[in-house]
Structure 1
Amino acid sequence: MKLKYWIYAARIYTLPLSFSGVTLSFFISKSRTNVSITAYILCVITALLLQILANFSNDYGDSITGVDNLKRVGPKRTVQCGFISLSEMKKAIYIFSILSFFSGLLLFCKTILWKNFFIFILYFIGIFICIYSSIKYSIGSNPYGYKIGMGDLFVMIFFGVLSIKGSYFLYTYTLCVDIFILSLSIGFLNVGVLNINNMRDLNNDCENRKYTIPVWLGIKYAKLYHAFIILISIFLGSYFIFLNQKTVYQWFFFIFTVIFLILHIKNIIYIKEKKLFNSELKKLVILTFLYELGIGIGFIL
């Protein structure tokens, strides 16, 4: 039965990254104004569909380029192992592209179509860019995920700025500087998740001409880069709470998560075996989810 392989290919453990972003902005929006629950649900569905599309595309693209091979330290991929064929994965990419488009279109019609047609057109174009970027990360003759720093930049944009600030605008129809600061904080944590993945597969990526930040810096400085982006995220998050502090709960949830993020940095610095990056990657996904959830819950208590 192939259902379990499709679930595996969707990389369920990464999906909290997209879910938590739009949920965080919803909680903050809810504390400031009246927000439609329908808009939130559509945001969640669209974000999840786009991330699954990106994961399927990565599985497909990396198998074609040879990045997914027997030397790879990370989890085996479904196309590489023959669990799902190239043609089946290609069809799935088409299906999730269509689903993402219509989900996004429904979201924009619900939230902004009758308020500002110009903004609606911008978001309409934006959904095409999101779909295209989800696919082009690993697929094509010149995938941007194989260029130095481009993967990190696009993760910052899509999982940080667009996830938080983009959804916040759909909820409230307002632009706020503090939300932009928060979106950068969340973006850096998501870049950290990608960086662990790239540190783990550094040698294999280098051999297959996938030039990630760790390939460029080397493992020693890639670890320092990782510590830097996590600390910057913590600083920006604390500044956001300082600007919006209302109750002690905001700091309590924040500090609780930060303690584990600091321990995570320590673990990354002292890792010797690359396979140990797998557990730290999953740990950072969970911590990112708790970090966002904690900030959001702190706002509504």
Structure 2
Amino acid sequence: MKLKSWFYAARIHTLPLSFSGITLSFVISKYRTNVSFIAYILCIITALLLQILANLSNDYGDSITGVDNSRRIGPKRAIQCGFISLLEMKKAICIFSILSFFSGFLLLYNTLLYKNIFIFFIYLIGIFICVYSSIKYSIGPYPYGYIIGIGDLFVLIFFGIFSVEGSYFLYTHTLSMDIFFLSLSIGFLSVGVLNLNNMRDLDNDYENGKHTMAVWLGIKYAKLYHTLIILISISLGGYFIFLNQKIIDYYQWFIFIFIVIFLILHIKKIICIQEKKLFNLELNKLVILTFLYGFSIGICFLN
């Protein structure tokens, strides 16, 4: 029963966001050069540990601040339900912080230590920042997830730029502008997931001093913001495909457009939603669509 509670607290359904960008950059890297599969596995493990750490920290932090209460529309959290105590969650956060850093260190040891010691230490600082940011989104006197726009920016950086461009560099030891555009594309979809979460809990967040973009904009303009995020993501993804059109076949364009149609339908659904609890279903859909979107782009590099 306790194990089931920890799986619940980890929010397994959100974890595809962690490996969407990393898997996409690996597939592209594998096409362009010789890449270590071990590096990919270590990237995946580190990303999953960091996201679980963020989810556990969010559960703990929102419980402490009172954001998780009976008025919250989203799924009840583990502490809120009484499945896990505050002390148990605090210990779990410490454990996952150590595991995340250790996994990240192994990744850097495997990919950078004997190739570029300077970049190794830069990335090591980056791992510290990732662990710290995973915790501080909701925990501490000034959690950045409670500040207008900062949570969205950090999601764009960590789930987009770090996930795609950062892992691409670890695989290939080079930077690429087209991969940067792609990283923004994946990042904006992840920001969309966060925005759905914030639109759903807009009223409760406002009452408890959590100043998200949705709270600041209001539901009408938060929907417009969401629409813009998705359209920018699609445009950047299309631009990446255009830059690599020499290796794109017609059937691969078809798969990409097919997923884009579902994203457009998702936007239409968001605009029409009146009951905030319905955002839950679209949130889960967007997580899956983000993974499939990455797949639709990466499939052309599977040769």
Q: Which TM-score bucket, shorter chain as reference?
A: over 0.9
Which amino acid in the other structure matches residue 291 of structure 2? F
Take 1:248 and 1:52, find their aligned partners in 2: how far apart are those partners? 38
Q: How far does the alpha carbon of each residue in 1:142-201 deviate from its partner, in whole angstroms, 9 at most, with x for none?
A: 100000000000000000000000000000000100000000000100000000000000
Matched length: 301
Partner of 2:70: 70
Which amino acid in the other structure matches residue 120 of structure 1? F
Change (3 A) 1:44 1:274: same
Is 1:119 the equivalent of 2:119?
yes
Partner of 1:196: 196
Q: How far does the alpha carbon of each residue in 1:46-69 deviate from its partner, in whole angstroms, 9 at most, with x for none?
A: 000000000000000000000000
Take 1:98 and 1:249, find their aligned partners in 2: how far apart are those partners? 44
Take 2:27 and 2:65, find their aligned partners in 1: how far apart are those partners? 41
Which amino acid in the other structure matches residue 257 of structure 2? I
Which amino acid in the other structure matches residue 223 of structure 2? K
Shift of the alpha carbon at 1:260? 0.1
Q: How far does the alpha carbon of each residue in 1:70-120 deviate from its partner, in whole angstroms, 9 at most, with x for none?
A: 000000000111110000000000000000011000000000111110000
Take 2:288 and 2:167, find their aligned partners in 1: how far apart are those partners? 21
> TM-score, with normalisation over the residues of structure 1?
0.99
Partner of 2:274: 272
Shift of the alpha carbon at 1:252? 1.9
Counterpart among 255, 258, 281 of residue 256 in structure 1 = 258
User: Any idea what SS the aligned residue of 1:20 has?
Assistant: helix
Shift of the alpha carbon at 1:251? 1.2
> TM-score, with normalisation over the residues of structure 2?
0.98
Take 1:231 and 1:67, find their aligned partners in 2: how far apart are those partners? 31
Identity %: 77
**Could you list the runs of 4 or more consecutive aligned residues of structure 1 that deviate by over 4 angstroms after TM superposition?**
none
Partner of 2:290: 288
Which amino acid in the other structure matches residue 2 of structure 1? K
Partner of 1:300: 302
Which amino acid in the other structure matches residue 9 of structure 1? A
Partner of 2:209: 209
**How does 1:167-178 map onto structure 2 within 5 Å?**
167-178=167-178
Partner of 1:140: 140
Partner of 1:109: 109
Take 2:19 and 2:185, find their aligned partners in 1: how far apart are those partners? 16
Which amino acid in the other structure matches residue 189 of structure 1? L
1:250/1:299 contact within 8 Å kept: no
Unaligned runs of 5+ in 2: none
**How does 1:38-117 map onto structure 2 within 5 Å?**
38-117=38-117
Take 1:226 and 1:49, find their aligned partners in 2: how far apart are those partners? 28
Partner of 2:27: 27
Shift of the alpha carbon at 1:298? 1.9
Which amino acid in the other structure matches residue 80 of structure 2? Q
